[in-house]
Amino acid sequence: MGTHPTVTAYDAIVRHTDAQPTDIRPLSGGAVVARLNDRTTTVVAKPAAGPNATAAEGAGLRWLAEPGDVPVPHAHGWDDDWLVLDYIEPAGGSPSPAAAESFGRGLAALHLRGAPAFGSPPPDGPVDAWIGLAPMANDTTHDDGTWATFYARDRIEPYVRTAVDQGIFGADEAAVFDAVCTRLPELQPGTEPPARLHGDLWTGNLHWGTDGRGWLIDPAAHGGHRETDLAMLRLFGAPHLDRILGAYAETATDAGNPLATGHEDRVGLHQLFPLLVHTVLFGGGYARQALTAAQQALRATR
User: How far, in Å, CA of 270 to CA of 286, rounded?
Assistant: 14
The answer on pLDDT for 142 being more than 80 is: no
47 lies in the same domain as 126: no
pLDDT tens digits, 157-197: 999 999 999 999 999 999 999 999 999 999 998 889 999 99
- Over 60: is that where the pLDDT of 41 sits? yes
**3-class DSSP state for residue 143?**
coil
Does residue 115 fall inside a structural domain? yes
Looking at 52, 86, 120, which one is the last position of a domain?
Answer: 86
Domain boundary among 42, 60, 86: 86
Q: Return the closest-CA partner of residue 120 out of 99, 101, 135, 141.
A: 141
Does position 146 have pLDDT exceeding 60, yes or no? yes
Instruction: Please check whether residue 194 lies inside any domain of the structure.
Output: yes
Are 48 and 108 part of one and the same domain?
Answer: no
Q: What's the pLDDT at 3?
A: 52
| Mean pLDDT (whole number) for 3-31 | 88
Q: Average pLDDT, stretch 218-247?
A: 97
Residues 127-147 have a mean pLDDT of: 92
Q: pLDDT value at position 107? A: 98
Residue span of the structural domain in which 290 resides: 97-300
Report d(CA 290, CA 255) in Å as an integer.
33
CATH assignment of the domain containing 72: 3.30.200.20
Neighbouring CB atoms inside 10 A of 167's CB total 8
CB 66, CB 183: distance < 8 Å: no
Residue 264's identity, in one-letter code, is E
Q: Are residues 59 and 115 in the same domain?
A: no
Q: How many domains does the chain have?
A: 2
Residues 117, 77, single domain; the answer is no
pLDDT the model gives residue 284:
83
State whether 277 and 153 are in the same domain. yes
Catalytic residue (choose from 200, 218, 254, 265): 200
Q: DSSP class of residue 266?
A: G
**Whether residue 122 is found in the same domain as residue 183:** yes
Q: Are residues 186 and 55 part of one domain?
A: no
In-domain check, residue 225: yes
- Determine, yes or no, domain membership for 117: yes
Residues 178 and 77 in one domain: no
- Distance of alpha carbon 5 from alpha carbon 21, whole angstroms: 18
Judge whether 220 and 136 are in contact, CB under 8 Å.
yes
- How far is Cα 113 from Cα 110, in angstroms, rounded to an integer? 5
Asked if the model's pLDDT at residue 39 lies above 90, the reply is no
Query: What DSSP string describes 20-83?
Result: -EEEEEE-GGG-EEEEETTSS-EEEEEE-SSTTHHHHHHHHHHHHHTT-SS----EEEE-SSEE
Query: Running DSSP on this structure, what letter comes out for residue 90?
Result: B
Task: Indicate the pLDDT class of residue 23, thresholds 50, 70 and 90.
Answer: confident
Query: Is 92 a domain residue?
Result: no
Residues 70 and 189 in one domain: no
- If asked whether residues 165 and 219 sit together in one domain, one would say yes
Residue 160, classed as helix, strand or coil, is helix
| Known catalytic residue at 154 | no
Give per-residue pLDDT as tens, 83-113.
999 999 999 788 999 999 999 999 999 999 9
Same-domain check for residues 75 and 152: no
- Average pLDDT on 74-83 reads 97
Residue 225 and residue 120 share a domain: yes
All residues at 6 or more sequence positions from 174 whose CB lies less than 8 Å from its CB, including other chains: 160, 163, 164
Q: State the chain's mean pLDDT as an integer.
A: 94
Q: Does residue 1 belong to any structural domain of this protein?
A: no
Whether residue 2 lies inside any domain: the answer is no
If you count them, how many residues does the chain have? 302
- Predicted pLDDT of residue 1: 43
- What value does the mean pLDDT take over residues 277-285? 94
- Which of 86, 116, 134 is a domain's end point? 86
CATH of the domain at 162: 3.90.1200.10
Tell which residue, 57, 102, 34, 71, has the closest CA to residue 248. 102
In this prediction, residue 132 carries a pLDDT of 93
Give domain status of residue 4, yes or no: no
Average pLDDT (252-259) is 97
With vertex at residue 227, the alpha carbon angle to CA 298 and CA 107, rounded to the nearest 5 degrees, is 165
Does the pLDDT value for residue 6 go beyond 90?
Answer: no
